[in-house]
Chain A
Amino acid sequence: MAKKKDILQGTLDLLVLRTLTGGPLHGYAITAHIARVSSDLLRVEEGSLYPALHRMEQEGWLRSSWGITDKNREARFYELTARGRQQLETERESWARLTDGVGRVLRYA
């Protein structure tokens, strides 16, 4: 199960945090959003998403609450906290450094 890595390890947090900057969303909406925005290039595995969401809530980056969707279903909505925004910045920077570094290697190596 954990062997299939659709999304680079460690980037899931970044994607989730970025996705939630637009406002509270439930888990399904998060996967849908990521799929849509990335034109289906990125697919979030349910198997990774929920443990990640709960872990990030543990870290204090997210908080969750139960609410009703427009289809009148009960769902758990996740929302960014202040610490979550900080974390987003940190992750964004490290991602930039990573891509920059990988890019350089690909260009010159």
Chain B
Amino acid sequence: MSWFRRLVNSGRSARISRDIDREMEFHIAERADELRAAGLSEPQAMLEARRRFGNRGIQKERTRDADIVVWLDSLAADVRYALRALRRSPAFAAVAVASLALGIGANTAIFTLIDALVLRTLPVPHPDELVQVTLGGTDGSGYFTNPLWEQLRDRQTGLAPVAAFGETDFDISEGGAARRVRGAWVSGEYFALFGVQPALGRVLAPADDVRGCPPVAVLSHDFWRASYGGASDVVGRTIPLDGHRFEIVGVAAPGFRGPEVGWEAQVHVPICSKTLLSGEGALDQRSAWWLRVMGRRAPGLGTPQVAARLAAIAPASYAATLPDEWPEEHRRQYLQGEFGAVPAASGMSALRERYGGALTTLMGAVGLVLLIACANVANLLLARGAAREREVAIRLAVGAARPRLVRQLLTESAILALLGAAAGLLVARWGTSGLVALIATEDVPVALDLAIDRTVLGFTAAVAALTATLFGLVPAWRATRVSPQTAMRAGGRGIAEGHRRFTIGRGLVVAQVALSLVLLVGAGLLVGSLRNLRTLDAGFRPDGVLLVRLDMSRVASADAYRGMHRELLERVRAVPGIRSASASDLTPIGRSSRNDVVLVEGFEPSTMEESLAWFNEVSDGYFATMDMRLLAGRDFDASDAPGAPRAAVISESVARRFFRDATPLGRQFRTQVGDGRSDPYTVVGVVEEAKYRNLRETESGTIFLAASQDTTPGPSATLEIRADGDLAALGRDIQSVVAGVHPAITIETRTLARQVASSLRRERMLAVLSALFGGVALLLSMLGLYGVMAYAVARRRNEIGVRIALGADRGRVLRLVLGDAGRVVAAGVVIGVASAMALGTLVRSFLFGVEPTEPAVLALAVALLASVAIVAGLVPAVRAARMDPVAALREE
């Protein structure tokens, strides 16, 4: 039978049903005639005819099943029936749909992010052919120096095209407040590699990336729309990048956001133009690691073959680029360098590395939330099934087929899941943008494609189907397992009824309690870690410090920078309300860092690591402004002039590690700077250890050099200003002070507190979300507990009525119900604590200052859960105790 016919028929189901009735009616009439003719009386004949025909309901059902529509039609009927049933109990429907919407929505939200960040391949042709070249094995660094990249580019690698790119940012202002755009240095085949076409003008080609190239730029589509309003005459105009004019030659087509997922360059310039911004030698630096390399596998080559070819060219490439001035040991290590090949269909992503693990953890958490929601709905359905026992019994008695009834009840579950999923998608949309807001910062927006696409919809549909089966099947099966006789006879008289249905309901609540305890413990650990990090003594005091980043590159020659730094600092110190101010090259917990090898007479490092220390160049007053304690010696001062012996202040751990002396005042060290080694530095002071790159680091080992003695001061520096009162207002004052020195100096302000807080974004996201999910889980399981207890009390109404009538005192009744709830909660807590202790290690890497099995956190979670559980159990218990025995018994 054609589908078409079936479909047509499905629209005519009512008529078909009537037809079957008429046909059967006719048959019975004919049979009755025959029986009458055989001598039966009229009523007897009719009765016998019907008896012979058998159960008409079943006949009709079976005839219809053979018929057409069967499936489609009965489905439509089931849907109508289910909708009617749900409309009859709106409270049930609302609670069920809301639970599911929360569960499904949270899952979809997290999955959307995981999909965009981890799973999706780059939107380029044949992404599976893309390979990233690394420096050695799969865990090797991805960053190349330019000389090394040139070696790779000019040899046979089995990759074609192959391209390098480096992220940076450019200031496109012409003075005043800086306007940063995200920029990328790209090699000639970059656009060809990813198959990116120009939307306007042209994209960069190999001819653009040759040494001595003219400065040209290609804009991203979004940037062109946002900053140029999509003007078509943009090609041929120039754009100032860090004060140098670049000619815009084209705009890239939309869609591709670059190989770094979550980060999109707005301006692309050829690698060769770096000489313009960073000096003539920029392309020949053998110790500057700033380029990443990707290529496309040539047809017929697998990643292992590519890796083999790369391995073959590695020795010659490294030999040709050996940094001349490095110490012997490091040169030896350099020559043993390798190349590796890693499949890169999904591109690469710092964001992924940072948040991938956290998102997986959260996915697990929302999975648990969904299970709790399912248990809730299953419980509601069980209770409902009990209330509908009679209805089901009657329908079974009049001949409804049991599978059909199960299907009908399952349809109800499916509709709930569907509504839950629809509402969940709304929750997810809202949730995803909230999530991104949690991890984005003002200067690093998260550029992810978070549209709800087919993958996400598929995921949501699968989750909804799974949940419908999870929460629907058991209650449906159970609801139809009644024997019609028992159900009809019992008719609500529940004194001695079996407790089996109860057992399932209770089991579900035990599971809910256990799962929510796991989530609460997880939340406790993550919130505790965040708190520990926030209250940690970083060695400096971030509150009340304004950071002002200055860029003088458009202003003067390098010689004038130092004088200008000095002048700016003095003018700023004169602004009223400022307690202290200083200048520095880097700021703590910032985005940049600098480490160098420290060479000390008599110090033999066992590893390369051990010889490294972090560096910063600071002015006098830095330690006072940052509130860092000077343990010995002195701060920098006017005596540290350019010609004087070079001074350094070191942190405690540097003193211990390199000098084995807590106060090595007067001792000397050298550093390896770039490809050479420095003049000696003399230790003039020791400061307390302070965090340098992040709050989690255990040893920050920092060396501070005197900015006043820097022989090659750069065009940029940061001022630290400690002041009372409104830092934002202060920022505006500082801007006018700076403009007073020179209008073409660009400045950016932010508070140190904010900079430190933004380093805790991942921790904050985990803490906020795990607390949220823990709260939702607690709410849902307490709803479950309340529901089961209320239901139990309702069912035992008679029993309780009799007890009270016979003189049981009300406190006893209260204890009876509460004890019941207590047993359920206690069982859940025991299982939950055990599971939490087992699962705690999964979040270990996110923790700080707490153990995965921290007793205080476990105790707190149990206490919270127990106190909420008491409230949830108390309501039905009090209701039971206040029961009027007369009314309860009269209902019989």
- Seen from chain A, the residues whose Cβ lies within 8 Å of a Cβ on chain B are 1, 26-28, 45-47, 50-52, 54-55, 58-60, 71, 73-76
Residues of A within 8 A of B66 (CB): 50-52, 54-55, 58
Q: Which residues of B contact A58 (CB under 8 A)?
A: 1, 66-68
- B26 contacts which of A47, A51, A75 (Cβ < 8 Å)? A75
Closest-by-CB residue of B relative to A55 is B66
Q: Does B541 contact A (CB under 8 A)?
A: no
Asked if B1 and A59 make an inter-chain contact with CB atoms under 8 angstroms apart, the answer reads yes
Residues of A contacting B26 in the complex (Cβ-Cβ under 8 angstroms): 26-28, 73-76
Chain A residues whose C-beta falls within 8 Å of the C-beta of B62 in the assembled complex: 47, 50-51
Shortest CB–CB separation between residue B540 and chain A, in angstroms? 83
A47 and B1 form a contact (CB under 8 A) = no
With a cutoff of 8 Å between Cβ atoms, the chain A residues found around residue B483 in the complex are: none
Q: Check: B593 CB closer than 8 A to any chain A CB.
A: no
A50 with B58: CB separation less than 8 A: no
Contacting pair B23 A27 (CB below 8 A): yes
B53 interface residue (CB < 8 Å to A): yes
Cβ-based interface call for B24 (8 A): yes
Q: Is B661 an interface residue (CB 8 A)?
A: no
Indicate whether B63 reaches chain A with its CB closer than 8 angstroms. Answer: yes
Interface residue range, chain B: 20 to 34
Query: Contact at A71–B27, with CB atoms within 8 Å?
Result: no
Q: Are A27 and B1 in contact (CB under 8 A)?
A: no
Q: Which of B29-37, B213-221, B733-741 contacts A (4 or more CB under 8 A)?
A: B29-37
B52 is contacted by which of A26, A46, A52 (Cβ under 8 Å)?
A46
Contact assessment for B63 and A50 in the assembled complex, using a CB-CB cutoff below 8 Å: yes
- Given known pairs A46-B52, A54-B66, the reply for A28 and B27 (CB within 8 Å) is yes
Determine if B537 is an interface residue (Cβ-Cβ < 8 Å): no
> Interface centre among B30, B31, B64, by most A CB within 10 Å?
B30
- Of B27, B53, B67, which one neighbours A54 at CB under 8 angstroms? B67
Tell me whether B844 is interfacial, beta carbon within 8 Å: no
CB <8 Å contact, B22 and A46: no
- A51 and B54 form a contact (CB under 8 A): no
- Chain B residue numbers with a CB within 8 Å of A76 are 19, 22-23, 26
A56 → B minimal CB distance (Å): 9
Chain B CB within 10 Å, residue with most, of A45, A46, A59, A75: A46
Closest residue on chain B to residue A71 by CB atoms: B33
Q: Shortest beta-carbon distance, B450 to chain A, in Å?
A: 49
The answer to whether B54 touches A46 (Cβ under 8 A) is yes
**Footprint of A on B, CB under 8 Å?**
1, 19-20, 22-24, 26-27, 29-31, 33, 52-55, 58-59, 62-68
> B68 contacts which chain A residues (CB < 8 A)?
58
The complex places the Cα of A57 from the Cα of B333 at a distance, in Å, of 85
**A86, chain B: closest CB distance, angstroms:** 17
Residue among A47, A54, A55, A58 having the largest count of chain B Cβ atoms under 10 Å: A54
Q: How far is the CA of A63 from the CA of B64 in the complex (A)?
A: 16
- Between-chain CB contacts (< 8 Å), 11 pairs: A1-B54, A27-B23, A46-B52, A47-B54, A50-B23, A50-B62, A54-B63, A54-B67, A58-B67, A75-B26, A76-B26
A-side contacts of B54, CB under 8 Å: 1, 45-47
CB neighbours (8 Å) of B31 from chain A are 28
Establish whether residues A1 and B58, one from each chain, have CB atoms under 8 Å apart when the complex forms: yes
Flag if A27 contacts B63 (CB, 8 Å): no
Docked Cα-Cα span, A60 to B1, in Å, equals: 7
CA distance A51 to B68 in the complex (A): 11
- B29/A73 in contact, CB under 8 A: yes
Which residue of chain A is the closest to B34 with respect to CB atoms?
A32
Which B residues are CB-close (under 8 A) to A26?
26
Q: Are B59 and A50 in contact (CB under 8 A)?
A: yes
- In the assembled complex, the CB of A60 is this many whole angstroms from the nearest CB of chain B, namely 7
Closest to B24 in A: A50
In chain B, what residue has the closest Cβ to A58? B1
Contacts of B24 in A (CB 8 A): 50
* Residue of B whose beta carbon sits closest to that of A60: B1
Interface contact B1-A1, CB-CB below 8 Å: no
B30 contacts across to A, CB distance below 8 A: 28, 73
Contact of A51 among B19, B29, B53, B65 (CB under 8 A): B65
**Whose C-beta in chain B lies nearest to the C-beta of A51?**
B66
Give A66 Cβ to nearest chain B Cβ, in Å.
8
A65 → B minimal CB distance (Å) = 11
Cα A60 to Cα B68 in complex, Å, equals 12
Q: How far, in angstroms, from A75 to B23 measured CA to CA in the complex?
A: 6
Residue of B nearest to A48 (CB): B62
A55→B64 CA distance, assembly (Å): 9
Query: B33: which A residues are within 8 A, CB to CB?
Result: 71
Please measure, in the bound complex, the distance between the C-alpha atom of A75 and the C-alpha atom of B26, giving whole angstroms.
6
Residue in B22, B63, B65, B67 whose beta carbon sits within 8 Å of that of A74 in the complex: B22
Which residue of B19, B24, B55, B63 has the most chain A CB atoms within 10 A of its CB atom?
A: B63
Measured CA separation A26–B25 after assembly (Å)? 12
Q: Of all chain B residues, which has the CB nearest A50? A: B63
